[in-house]
Chain A
Amino acid sequence: MNTRTYWGALLLGVAAMAAVDEIVFHQILAWHHFYDGSTTAVALLSDGLLHAGKLFAFVAGFFLMLDARRRETFRADAAWAGFLVGAGAFQLFDGLINHKVLGLHQVRYDVELLPYDLAWNAAGLALLAAGILLTVRARRGSRCSRTP
């Protein structure tokens, strides 16, 4: 399988999910808090690194995809597989590590949190599972196309 396409798309998936998080949940719905001030320095540090990583993923993914296209090795099935894995993995990481383990902020405030947490992580898991399925299929596809 073409790794440039796959990794580029995976990074774009991370960035797309991060953008949805930022635009929909932070800005439009204002469910999330910028920082609810209740966490440790380590959590704040990891949040900062992750935040930088998201922006980096967006730009790096974009240029890796361009590079794949320039080398004429771009493959749509590998791209979708990578995109969904990236998006799902980010959503799960955000839901489990950021919200629960580090406690940077919660999905929503002043409501019963459990259904929101379940929906959030189930969505992440579904995306990740779909991505893994497509990854397996894309790998099989590339193996078949190589043997004439």
Chain B
Amino acid sequence: MHHHGEIALSGESLLLIPFVFAAAMYLAGVVLQMRRGRPWPQERTALWMLGLVVAASGALGQLGHSSFAGHMAAHLAVGMVAPLLLVLGAPVTLALRSLHIVPARRLSRLLRSIPARMLMNPVVAATLNVGGMWVFYLTPLYSLAQGAWLFHVLVMVHLLIVGFLFTAAIVTPDPSPHRSSFALRAVVLLLALAAHAVLAKYLYANPPAGVALAEAQEGAQLMFYGGDLVDLVLLALLGAQWYRVSGRRLARASVALERRAA
């Protein structure tokens, strides 16, 4: 399959462009914040850059290969790990702070628009994310993606986008005007985690077309435990947010109580 490698190679450098662009835009924002004397947290920059590296290496590393475990590693990297790192980079906050007033207002209006709100609703985002995976692995789509590299790239783009939407809907540090309740976010995360685990075990016993059983078992276990690890981080972040918010409420309540007593 040498000719595949060559096509992939020339495509690869082109495919890096969006990642380089995303890194450059973010850095421009960081430099602007520094010049204005409002330094941007370094860990956010590091998380964003790391997210781009994970996404790029996951998406491009698998071009021309077709092992199921390798594919699953790419799926975890691009669809779960990279989105988490990118969301924690708080790109919307950086953009709102760095843009001029008119484009910043436009961006915030866009985020408050009905389609954006729908996409960032946890139920919708989770359905797109996990539902898309079910369709991909249980239909001929999986074997289609193995042949055509353009289709592979489209799948990776889809994974990254819906992974980002889902992660943002659950734990974003960015301002989100219509954030859902903790209970809804927890239930959605729980169900998404379960759907991911069920799919992994199903694939363990029922490999997609063209995948050997041993290979499917290796990939399915990677999917199961890798997914667990990322979801555990998501759960911990959601718990920490709940702890912080309920702590603020607790502090306000005790201040009110003291005032009434005084």
Give the interface of A toward B (CB within 8 A): 34-35, 37, 44-45, 47-49, 51-53, 55-56, 58-60, 62-63, 66-67, 70-71
Contacts and interface: CB of A to CB of B under 8 A. Distances in A.
Interface in B219-262: 220-221, 224, 228, 231-232, 235-236, 238-240, 242-243, 246-247, 250
B201 interface: yes
B243 to A, nearest CB: 5
B235 A59 contact: yes
A65 to B, nearest CB: 11
Interface in B16-74: none
B194 interface: yes
B164 interface: no
A37 B198 CA distance: 12
B190 A63 contact: no
Instruction: Say which size band chain B's interface belongs to.
Output: 20 to 34
A66 B243 CA distance: 8
B243 A63 contact: yes
B197 A47 contact: yes
Contacts of B204: 34-35, 37
Interface centre among A35, A45, A47, A67 (most CB of B within 10 A): A35
Interface centre among B193, B220, B246 (most CB of A within 10 A): B193
A51 B194 CA distance: 7
B202 interface: yes
Contact of B190 (A34, A52, A67, A71): A52
Contacts, number: 68
A15 B177 CA distance: 34
Contact of B201 (A35, A53, A58, A70): A35
Given A55-B228, A56-B235, A63-B239, A48 B194 contact: yes
Given A49-B190, A53-B194, A59-B236, 17 more contacts: A35-B201, A37-B204, A44-B201, A47-B201, A48-B198, A51-B194, A52-B191, A52-B194, A53-B190, A55-B228, A56-B186, A56-B193, A56-B235, A58-B232, A60-B186, A66-B243, A70-B250
A55 to B, nearest CB: 6
B239 A60 contact: yes
Interface string B166-202: 0000000000000000000010011101111110011
A52 B224 CA distance: 11
Contacts of B246: 67
Per CB-CB distance, the 3 closest pairs between chain A and chain B, nearest first, are A48-B198, A37-B205, A52-B193
Given A59-B232, A70-B247, A71-B250, A52 B197 contact: yes
B221 A48 contact: no
Given A66-B243, A67-B243, A34 B201 contact: yes
A5 to B, nearest CB: 16
Nearest to B186: A56
B190 A56 contact: yes
A53 B235 CA distance: 11
